[in-house]
Chain A
């Protein structure tokens, strides 16, 4: 009950911030439109909607990391967290309260990106239904990163960290270029991180290639568990002062 009340407050804080709309919704749609136009003049199929749209949806989740991290960071710097830490809420209440309102935001991002892709000419497919399920799991990874950044850094630091994070998530995810074009250490490092796996899982499920979903999804889930666990540990430590 307390967690839901806290989640409601966080939902309002996030959705009433115009930056959420600008970065979380409009920017990914703009990129989807621009890159899909470039696809016509490209000699390879990376920017075709069937490859681009699943990757852009994952890219849009990076902003969920920013929203979560900034919210927790601001709550810390304004002492709002101190006020609610002195309430009878538990660590689990806090973490559910921070994570829960981001799921509908992720769902809106998925729906907006997929809807735009359909309008731009992506063929409609039943594979979108399981794809939305897989994307919800992937969104948890980005929520976990947000909890992690918010727990360990201030709101100003989160802004700076996000600049690095969004570059890592896009350059090392295979969204803008095929990772095997560079190969070597770059590709190895990219596949040691979860972002390329998230994009691979998203593309595979939208293509109906369910067997190719499992391995990258295991990577994503494992990273989510580790990052979430570290954030919970840090949060509990902070609660104890």
Chain B
């Protein structure tokens, strides 16, 4: 079972945000989606997580279609949005329990899961702290823990380390590395070193289209560049300028 994206397209009035995107992501893969601002990454995530209906095309998410059976798809996935999306007047523990319960856990199970996730993400000391009082790093950790508490098969991480200091970022990388292989992770980020450290494969989008797809080594070979930054710049260069 895998994620099979077939000719996925989303247009807004006269603008094409995602243009006939086709690719396959294996189960348990850590996949990074790169692109400049406006390349179509966030729209792709919204389409795959059933937050938006495609104009045409489809994606089969571990056996279920985003167009035909979005409710079944939603049960399999969770998302950590670009903004941390934490309930500000709820404590860390309450935030986790809330998400567990809307995904179907009863009160006791939600409490147990919240305890486990607080342990795993080192949040126990802040269990009673309200969302609005957390530092940026803690909020990010909580945001990902909230996405994990429903035990998703697929998780979308939209810019998970934006605004974090070096230590908080490295801590979060370690958490993400620990998750690797257990679930399918789809990451969007502007930090290329993050992609080098974490991703199994990389897709590079430009103006809604998939410009390149492969492992870091494959992309290096394809472009003849050594650094991911140069690979990225070459692949996203405008026609005639590259």
Judging by beta carbons under 8 Å apart, are A13 and B46 in contact? Answer: no
Given contacts A9-B98, A80-B85, whether A88 and B103 have CB atoms under 8 Å apart is yes
Closest A residue, CB atoms, query B106: A1
Does B146 make an interface contact (CB < 8 A)?
yes
Number of A interface residues at 8 Å Cβ cutoff, please give it. 25
Query: C-beta contact mask, A155-199 vs B, less than 8 Å → 1, else 0?
Result: 000000000000000000000000000000000000000000000
Q: Which of B75, B98, B150 has the most C-beta atoms of chain A within 10 angstroms of its own C-beta?
A: B98
Tell me if A82 and B79 are in contact (CB < 8 A). Answer: yes
- In Å, the complex CA distance between A77 and B77 comes to 22
**Of the residues B51, B82, B90, contact of A86 by C-beta under 8 Å:** B51
List the B side residues contacting A74 at CB < 8 Å: 88
Q: Is the pair B102, A82 in contact by a Cβ cutoff of 8 Å?
A: no
Decide yes or no whether A211 CB sits under 8 A from chain B: no
Distance A8 CA – B94 CA, assembled complex (angstroms): 10
User: CB of A89 within 8 A of chain B?
Assistant: yes
Contact of B81 among A16, A83, A89, A241 (CB under 8 A): A83
Q: Please report the number of residue pairs spanning A and B whose Cβ atoms sit closer than 8 angstroms.
A: 77
Q: Is B133 an interface residue (CB 8 A)?
A: no
Closest Cβ neighbor of A84 among chain B residues? B102
Tell me the complex Cα distance, A239–B70, Å: 12
B44 contacts partner chain A, Cβ-Cβ < 8 Å: no
Which A residue sits closest to B147, measured CB to CB? A83
Interface residues of B in 90-107 (CB under 8 A from A): 90, 94, 98-99, 101-104
Is A6 positioned at the interface, with any CB of B under 8 Å from its CB? yes
A9 & B87 in contact (Cβ 8 Å cutoff): yes
Q: Which residue of A lies closest to B90 (CB)?
A: A12
Task: For the complex formed, measure the closest distance between the CB of B202 and the CB atoms of chain A, giving whole angstroms.
Answer: 24
- Please indicate the chain A residues that have their CB under 8 angstroms from the CB of B75 in the complex: 88
B83-A78 in contact (CB<8A): yes
Interface size class of chain B, counting residues whose CB lies under 8 Å from the partner chain: 20 to 34
B86 touches A80 (CB 8 A): yes
Chain A residues closer than 8 Å to B103, beta-carbon distance: 87-88
Whether the pair B85, A82 counts as a contact (CB closer than 8 A) is yes
B205 to chain A, nearest CB (A): 18
Q: Contact: A87 with B89, CB < 8 Å?
A: no
In the complex, A80→B53 CA distance in Å?
A: 19
Q: Which residues of B contact A88 (CB under 8 A)?
A: 71, 74-75, 102-104
Given contacts A80-B85, A82-B81, A86-B78, contact A13 B53 (CB under 8 A): no
What are 18 A-B contacts defined by CB distance under 8 Å? A6-B102, A9-B87, A12-B89, A13-B87, A13-B88, A13-B90, A16-B130, A74-B88, A78-B84, A80-B86, A83-B80, A83-B99, A85-B51, A86-B49, A86-B77, A86-B79, A88-B75, A240-B53
Q: Known pairs A5-B102, A6-B102, A87-B102. 14 more at Cβ < 8 A?
A: A5-B101, A9-B87, A9-B90, A9-B94, A16-B89, A79-B82, A79-B84, A83-B80, A83-B85, A86-B49, A86-B51, A86-B78, A88-B102, A241-B53
**Taking beta carbons and an 8 Å cutoff, which residues of A are in contact with B?**
2, 5-6, 8-9, 12-13, 16-17, 74, 77-80, 82-89, 239-241
